[in-house]
Amino acid sequence: MAKAREPFACLAVYDATMARLMDEAGVHVLLAGDSAAEVVLGLPRTIHMPIDFAMCITAAVRRGASHAHVMADMPFMSYQASPDEAMANAGRFMTEGQADSVKLEADESLAPLIDRMTRAGIPVCAHVGSRPQTAALTSGYTAAGRSEPEAERIVRDARALESAGAVLLLIEAVPSEVTLRVVEATSVPVIGIGAGTGCHGQILVVHDLLGLSTHPPRFALPAAQLAEPIVQAGREWVARVARSELGGKGYTMRPAKSVEAAPEQSRMGNR
């Protein structure tokens, strides 16, 4: 699709049911994102994502999706501590999580690790631009590439990571001019989020798409507003319970069955 300049759609999802629905909708790439730390677990930042939970949701998304490319999002400190630990964790995402690829937030310093993963047969998506796992360095989530030196650094990172073997790039929260420079400087598909329309693919968090987020990012335009209908459904359930009118069908006792012993069994019993 990238070669044909046909834009492909991606979403971050976290469970088998949503993966099945978005797969049926024709979404091409499903990311089991570390944003689950915030939108599923209610934690303050993506860096709090537990790796075992990440493994579980990746496998769940895989079980729900029959056609989509499933990408595992490697959590904070699952690949930064040591190359050996990073390799073992990436391998787990490919085997236990049954992912088609892994994503890690990276700059050119991680090129040797991506080279090693690629040589081991692990397809890597390198995440450049704004990187949420490093938000503590900038006192919170911020855009990237808004100055010429920053833009040059992002392009340099993208080139280095592609040269190391990354098969996909994801670029987040940068001016559209920077995105176009990355696309022109590389030859692999580039997925954007808050990075303009110049990418080969686009990704959003599914909660932002469905209007379920309290404070969606500025670049996320909901395609539906499902929060209020869900609240209304909850209110309807509260009202049903109060009225003792649950709806649906209940269960009834089975009729009792009389059991008569066969003659042969009776004689055997008498003996």
Q: For 105-116, what is the mean pLDDT? A: 98
Q: Is 172 a catalytic residue?
A: yes
Helix (H) or strand (E) segment spanning residue 187: none
The CATH number of the domain holding residue 172 is 3.20.20.60
In a domain, 264, yes or no: no
63 is a domain residue? yes
For the segment 12-40, the average pLDDT, to the nearest whole number, is 98
d(CA 58, CA 50): 12
Q: What residues make up the domain containing 131? A: 8-229
pLDDT band at 260 (very low <50, low <70, confident <90, very high): low
Of 68, 112, 120, the residue nearest 90 (C-alpha): 120
Q: Average per-residue pLDDT in the chain?
A: 94
259: in domain: no
Listed residue (8, 2, 40) closest to 206, CA to CA:
40
Number of domains composing the chain: 1
Closest Cα partner for 150 from 170, 128, 166, 126? Answer: 128
Q: What is the DSSP string of 97-147?
A: S--SEEEEE--GGGHHHHHHHHHTT--EEEEEES-GGGGGGGTS------S
Residue recorded with tokens 């959003």: 204
How far apart are alpha carbons 110 and 108 in whole angstroms? 5
Does some domain include residue 249?
no
Could you give the 3-state DSSP secondary structure of residue 269?
helix
CB of 38 within 8 A of CB of 45? yes
Return the SS3 of 97. coil
Decide if pLDDT at 141 tops 90. no
Evaluate whether 7 touches 202 at the Cβ level (below 8 Å): yes
Single-letter amino acid, residue 82: S
The predicted structure's pLDDT at residue 261:
55
Q: Phi/psi of residue 199, each to 5°? A: -80, 165
Q: pLDDT-derived band of residue 242, with 50, 70 and 90 as boundaries?
A: very high
Is residue 184 in some structural domain?
yes
Q: Pick the catalytic residue: 38, 108, 162, 172?
A: 172
Q: d(Cα 177, Cα 175) in Å, to the nearest integer?
A: 5
Instruction: Give pLDDT, residue 71.
Output: 98
Per-residue confidence (pLDDT) for residue 271, from 0 to 100: 47
Let me know if residue 251 belongs to a domain: no
What's the CA gap between 196 and 101, in Å, rounded? 24
